[in-house]
Amino acid sequence: MAIEGPLRELGIHDVFQLLDLSRKTGVLRVSSDLREDEGVVFFDKGRVVQAAIRSTAVPTEIALLHAGRVSEGDLAKARARQANGRGSADIVDVLLDMGAITSKEIERQLRLQIENVVFELMSWREGFFSFEERARNEMPAAPRITVSTESLLMEGARRIDEWSRIADIIPNVQVVPELAPITGDREGAMLDLLPHEWQVLTMIDGGRDLRAIAGSLRRDEFEIAKIAYGLATTGIVSIRKSSLRAVPEVERSAIDACVATARAHTRAGRHPEALDELRRAVHEDPLTPALHLMCAFAAARAGDLSGARAGWEHVVRLAPDEDAGAYAREALQALCAFQHVLDRHVDD
């Protein structure tokens, strides 16, 4: 059975949900002429077992090396063993037999690779998808790991929420971080940073944006964005706002489609579905206060009052002097009054 079509008509989130609910086994290909890239995801009974994007694909052993899980020496020894009688063995299995790494670490790295691919594909709004159903014996060898598609979709939604909280400083990965000037009170002070923060800091040259830094380090763009946010809020780096990109027309049309779909869901009383659509819109355009405002109200209608509060607070920070900020403050006041009534009822 073949399932295919443009992403404008059926978003990648919905494609994954369909394959999960129907417990499909086969290969999903997602291609984008605009990005000049392609992603491939293997499903086994609705669960993801393997995933890669052509432009960022690296062998598992190299990913383990970049993550610091194995050393260059470990890889050299494994390759030597592979050449001396174990030529058909996967080098990851050789590393495992050597005791250079544990099965748990391998599974963790493979899950991370799958998550990064799926979350990247979820941001694609243009392109074409096609799913080819296959028998299990036509699929790759027995997978080392299977990942729940539902958990991937939930994590994707969480990332959208988390991104909205850092968007006032890191709106996207096209911004360029720069080392902040050393002021008198910081001169001579020692920086107390974690290893992954030092790694990012050493890559900041005032020319590379966060996407380029993530590519050079072969790290997840979202994780690099969060690290940059932490460095910026502590005053170690500054973010060059002039590097922010305008939302391309192809993405703007996708955003408008999400908003229109969300309004249709709201009129029909399908508030969780409306919230999902607006989260997609916010992910594509985290700089527009009106989108955050709509998303916060959708969260309230869906019963997520904590999410609504966080959304309205973000709008107030993002647009304190605009109409959206005024609406958000009004909503926050109403929510506080409602919370007071609830608390008083408990006390009575």
76 within a domain of the structure (yes/no): yes
Q: Are 24 and 146 found together in one domain? A: yes
118 within a domain of the structure (yes/no): yes
295 within a domain of the structure (yes/no): yes
Alpha-carbon span 45 to 26, nearest angstrom: 8
171 within a domain of the structure (yes/no): no
**Residues of the chain above pLDDT 90, percent:** 15
- Domain boundary, last residue among 197, 220, 243: 243
Q: Are 24 and 128 found together in one domain? A: yes
Q: pTM value? A: 0.57
Alpha-carbon span 264 to 195, nearest angstrom: 47
> What is the reported pLDDT for 228?
92
166 within a domain of the structure (yes/no): no
CATH number of the domain at 187, please. 1.10.10
Tokens of 46: 């609705």
38 within a domain of the structure (yes/no): yes
Query: How many alpha carbons fall within 13 Å on the CB side of residue 116?
Result: 23
Q: Are 205 and 334 found together in one domain? A: no
- Domain boundary, last residue among 93, 127, 160: 160
Q: Are 229 and 283 found together in one domain? A: no
Domain limits for position 319: 249-347
Q: Are 266 and 196 found together in one domain? A: no
**Per-residue pLDDT tens over the stretch 240-271:** 854 344 455 555 667 888 888 888 888 889 99
Domain count, the chain: 3
Is pLDDT above 80 for 139?
no
Q: Are 229 and 145 found together in one domain? A: no
CATH number of the domain at 319, please. 1.25.40.10
**Per-residue pLDDT tens over the stretch 168-197:** 888 777 788 998 876 655 555 567 788 888
